[in-house]
Copies of this chain bind each other. A is one copy, B any other.
Amino acid sequence: MTYCVGVLVEDGLVMIADTRTNAGLDDISTFRKLQMFNAPGERVIMLASAGNLSVTQSVLSLLREGVDDVEGEEPEKLADMPSMFKAAQLVGRAIRQVHKIERDGFERANLRFEVSFLLGGQIGTGEMRLFMIYSAGNFIECGRDSPFLQIGEHKYGKPILDRAVTSKLDLYDALKVALVSMDSTMRSNLGVGLPIDIAVLRRNALTLEVDHRIEAGEPYFHDLRERWSAALRAAHRAIPRPPYGPPVTK
């Protein structure tokens, strides 16, 4: 499994992704799921992936080498796209191209062609945008009313995002909430694990402010996990006893 989340606030964009891949519980390894297509000062394009690893890797290779699914046209690379919208379209085309190649084999092996991507960033003077791209190559965009998108094992970490994230949130508070969401997911699903790749992009900066891998044992993340656990325990302790049942006697 995988968990990736992108948070798009007024100040900028946060993207984080775990790195655990598994083909069964006894075949677990580490793979970077947050990929960069950056030219500092010109563009920052980040792509996080979830789903079948062979497919996401092929899609990534196509995006780097060039997608050539339209006959008679030059292969196009993600790093050359003039806008984030065009970039999202290209990811969709790359997925469809891989699907065309793999479909029959997947059907024979009874495998599901299941991938999803988060694409976020800013190109030149264009808008900063965040998209989620589905297996079919179609995509949706992150809006201001619920300014985050998730892929992979997303449910465990959604309640905190639903409650805490607004587009007014400070950029590093957004990072903090994203890390809490990641922590909730890691605690409840073994398929999501450290290290975690994190990236912070301030609006109109066109250069990453943070591009970091949080390894196991890193003090800040360890402290965040401890504090969050303690706060949750304190929070439910502070809620009064339910008024049902007999009066308390002890």
Inter-chain contact B175/A242, CB cutoff 8 Å: yes
What B residues does A212 contact at CB under 8 A? 244
A25 contacts the other chain (CB 8 A): no
Report A55 CB to chain B, min CB distance, Å: 24
Inter-chain contact B160/A210, CB cutoff 8 Å: no
Q: Which A195-250 residues sit within 8 Å CB-CB of chain B? A: 198, 200, 209-210, 212, 220, 223-224, 227-229, 231-246
What B residues does A164 contact at CB under 8 A? 232-233, 236
What B residues does A239 contact at CB under 8 A? 176, 180, 223-224, 227-228, 231
Question: How many angstroms from the CA of A111 to the CA of B162 in the assembled complex?
Answer: 32
Q: Which of B173, B187, B241, B246 contacts A209 (CB 8 A)?
A: B246
Inter-chain contact A163/B245, CB cutoff 8 Å: no
What B residues does A242 contact at CB under 8 A? 172, 175-176, 179, 210, 220
Inter-chain contact A232/B229, CB cutoff 8 Å: no
Q: Which A152-204 residues sit within 8 Å CB-CB of chain B? A: 155-160, 162-164, 172-173, 175-177, 179-180, 184, 187-188, 198, 200
What B residues does A229 contact at CB under 8 A? 163
Report A221 CB to chain B, min CB distance, Å: 9
Inter-chain contact A176/B236, CB cutoff 8 Å: yes
* A contacts, CB < 8 Å to B: 155-160, 162-164, 172-173, 175-177, 179-180, 184, 187-188, 198, 200, 209-210, 212, 220, 223-224, 227-229, 231-246
